[in-house]
Structure formats: structure tokens, C-alpha cells
Amino acid sequence: MFPVGGVAVMLLGAVLSGLLALSLAMLLRRRFGVLWAFAACGFLWSLVVVALVTLIPYEGAPGVIPADQAQTMCSFDYGGPAPEGFWIFSSGQRTLNTALFVPSGVLMVVMLARWRSAWVLVPLGLAGLVAYSIGIEVTQLALARLDRACDVTDMVDNVTGALFGVAIGLLLVVLLRPWRHRRGRKG
């Protein structure tokens, strides 16, 4: 197995994927408008950053966890043992788990508010973010070599962050009015 992990790998992945997202937004801005292009590409980038931070081992290369020591089910010990801090957020892993999903919620709302069907798409998008969080935790459980743990507290924190993001996004769209930036309309 190729050794990969650590904060440097997470940051490098975030920078490289950010540059790719920025390039894609620049290509899409003429066709779909600046606001939508940057919101959509920012949303995709935020999902990549979430995956990088949650699926790459933060201590360096993944180790080998013997089968008899591997986690067999998610922890349902709500608020259970979580590290006190995590490289950037000294206030704890729960704060990081919440903060990670806020940008995804905000950008999703800004991206979807362009269409009249946003009142249906935003709740569906929120459900997608919940499914994404569950998928991350299931992946952490299935790939014990990641040196990560599946925990219901993480899912609750992630969903809380997504809800905060959606609320902020709803306030933001009132100011940005993305429906005015539809292609073919002047305004």
C-alpha cells in the first residue's frame, strides 16, 4: 500500500482540488453566470475537502490494525471520546466536524436558489449531505486502516453544520438574489 496521510497531504489535496475547482468555475462562468459557477464549483470543492479531512489519516501513513482490534460497528456513545483538538481547530473535533459541513450547506443553497424548484431541491440537497456524512462514517468503519472511527456523534455534528450552512445560505440568497442571474436575463 502506498503510504499516504498527515496534515500536509490534506492541505496539498485541498489546494490542488481548489485550483481545479477555480479553473472549472472560470470555464463555466460565461455559460451559467459567475455566481452559479463559483457556488457550484465551491460546493464540489467543499465536498472534496470534507473527504480529505475525514478519510485521510491525520497522523501520517495508515497503519495495520489487526482484525481482532478493528471496529465492527459504529459507536453510539453520543459525545463519546473525541480528541481535544485537531491541527487547526483547537476547540475540538466536534467543532471541526460541524464547521466542515457549513460551507457545503451555504454553497448548495446559493447554487440551487437560482431555480424556482429550489424549495424542493434544497431539502433534497440537505438529505444528500446527510447521506454523504453517513457514507463517510461507513467508509471509516469499512476501512479500518484509515485509523478513523465510525461515530454517531460525528454524523450529528456534520448534519448540524449542514443545517447551519443551509440557514446561512437562505439568508445569503436574499442578498445575492441568484434568480436574477439566470442565463439569458438581463438585470
Residue 41 inside a domain? The answer is: yes
pLDDT of residue 71: 66
Count of domains for the chain: 1
**Backbone phi and psi for residue 75, each to the nearest 5 degrees, phi listed first:** -80, 130
- Answer yes or no: is 67 within a domain: no
Domain-embedded: residue 153: yes
**Within-domain flag for 132:** yes
N- to C-terminal Cα separation, the chain: 54
User: Would 39 be classed as within a structural domain?
Assistant: yes
Residue 76 belongs to some domain of the structure = no
The per-residue pLDDT for 187 is 37
Tell me the helix, strand and coil percentages in the chain, rounded to 5: 70, 0, 30
Beta pairing partners, 151: 75
User: Cβ(5)–Cβ(59) under 8 Å?
Assistant: yes
- Residues spanned by the domain of 155: 7-60+91-181
SS (H, E, C) 130-173: HHHHHHHHHHHHHCHHHCCCCEHHHHHHHHHHHHHHHHHHHHHH
What pLDDT score was predicted for residue 87?
45
Looking at the domain assignment, is residue 166 inside a domain?
Answer: yes
Query: Does 107 reside within a domain?
Result: yes
**In what helix (H) or strand (E) does residue 128 lie, and over which residues does it extend?**
helix 118-142
From first to last of its 187 residues, the chain has per-residue pLDDT tens of: 446 778 888 999 999 999 999 999 999 999 998 999 999 999 999 999 999 988 888 776 666 666 666 666 676 666 655 555 444 445 677 888 899 999 999 999 999 988 888 889 999 999 999 999 999 988 888 876 666 777 888 899 999 999 999 999 999 998 888 766 555 444 3
The whole-number pLDDT of residue 185 equals 46
